[in-house]
Structure 1
Amino acid sequence: MDFALVSGNPALDLAGTLQWRRSDPVDLLVDPAALRSWLVQAGVVQDAVRVGPADLSRAVELREALYRLACDRLADREYDEAALGIVNRAAAGPPIEIALTPTGVRRRGDVDAALGEVARSLVVLLGAADAPPIKECGRAACTRLYLDRSRGARRSWCGMEECGNRVKAAAYRARRRAARTS
């Protein structure tokens, strides 16, 4: 399975593995193999880690806590205490092992280290005074969160490939229909 990694932060990308939250939710983390695949595709680890059903449950719980805290930041409200506890416990876990090799950096660790790395990425983001703004995709049904690093913070969609292109195509079709009726 290929995952859309367009959020600019591993924690926000993990939160995006539950799509269309408000309308017809689609969970991309359907089994331990999907989580293992996401960890590798997101670059959290390079080698597939052993993931069991309990690990998947912890990852889903972490995903929802990450999403809640990011939404709290987005809405400028106090952080949810339960979500803080989940994220902080994961962030306190073992570190990812990194090593410089002749071909670049190698990142290894077990699932606890990988989830800790993801949690730490949100802790660092939310704790930074100069962090880019977190936004929600402008496409009506999409609930993906992303960091807006665009000039003037004017980005509207989580990504052009899916949401941006669809919104622009719909606007184009609407303009064409309007031009034909006038």
Structure 2
Amino acid sequence: MTGSPTPGDFRLGNEILSFRFVATLSERRGDAVVERIATPERLRAWLAVNELGSADMPLPSDALLRDARELREAIHRAGTAIAADGVPDPADEDLLNRWTARHRARLVLTGGRARWRLPDTDPARAALAVVAVDAVTTLGTHHGSHGDGVIKRCEQRTCGGLFLDTSRGRRRRWCSMATCGNKVKKANIKAARDGAAAGHGDRMS
């Protein structure tokens, strides 16, 4: 995918910024994993559509792209551990903590909205530090009985993404109703139709 970033290029339905970043690797448990930040251009585009910079900010380096993917996978592993009532691996915690130590962005009020203002030097790295801070805040305040939501792993068969369940009764099952929830709904309808057709065939024989 090339050109100006558009929301349709990425999965943006997750309410949690760091979990949206995790979703830049989709279909984690499927046969065809989808890498949505395959190039530095795509990483810059993701940051731009999430209001962490602009489409014309300096292009991230290949090294930073590798670092970004490492950060993403550390967030996913840590969140998956917490979703299973465990604790993150110390190595993943250390990586996240090293990223938060690089936090140099400032939160400013512009036009009545809170936005991140990035430094002129290495803005993409500063933007990724914002993602890391969001991850640490989310993972650290919604662990076990803490916080007003529960971290879960998406139950859609091929997904494996993370989400924060704040629903009444904590019964939410999918990271996004528009994507994974819709896939499950369509699969259930197809299964019901196939079952009905098979039953009709049995009666005709």
TM-score (norm 1): 0.89
Between structure 1 and structure 2, the one with the greater Rg is: 2
Mark the CA change 1:143 to 1:101 in structure 2 (over 3 Å): closer, same or farther.
same
**Equivalent-residue separation in structure 1 for 2:114 and 2:154 (angstroms):** 32
Please tell me the root mean square deviation across aligned C-alpha atoms, in Å. Answer: 1.9
Report 1:21-32 matches (<5 A).
21-23=28-30, 24-32=32-40
Identity, % of aligned positions:
36
121, 129, 151: which is aligned to 1:116?
Answer: 129
- Is 1:94–2:107 an aligned residue pair? no
Q: CA shift at 1:77, angstroms?
A: 1.9
Contact 2:53 2:124 in 1 (8 A): no
Measure the CA separation in 1 of the matches of 2:169 and 2:127: 33
Which of 14-23 and 116-125 deviates more? 14-23
In the alignment, the residues of structure 2 paired with residue 64 and residue 141 of structure 1 have an alpha-carbon distance, to the nearest angstrom, of: 17
Alpha-carbon separation, structure 2, partners of 1:63 and 1:127: 16
Instruction: Tell me the alpha carbon deviations over residues 63-121 of structure 1, each in whole angstroms, 9 at most, x when there is no partner.
Output: 11111111111122232111111110101113323332346344231112111110111
Q: Does the 8 Å contact 2:108/2:114 carry over to 1?
A: yes
**TM-score, scaled to structure 2:** 0.80
Matched, 1:34 2:34: no
CA contact (8 A) 1:91 1:117 kept: yes
Residues matched between the structures, number = 182
Q: Say if 2:148 and 2:166, in contact at 8 Å, map to a contact too.
A: no
1:158 is aligned to: 175
SS of the residue 1:121 aligns to: helix
Which residue of structure 2 aligns with residue 44 of structure 1?
Answer: 52
Native 8 Å contact 2:27 2:158 kept in 1: yes
- CA gap of 1:140–1:120, structure 2 versus 1, over 3 A, is same
Gaps of 5+ in 1: none
Distance across 2 between alignment mates of 1:156 and 1:79: 22
Deviations 1:30-72 (A, max 9, x none): 0111111111212333565321111111101111111111111
1:16 aligns with 2:23: yes
Q: Gaps spanning 5+ residues in structure 2: where? A: 201-205
CA distance in 1 between partners of 2:140 and 2:168 (Å): 22
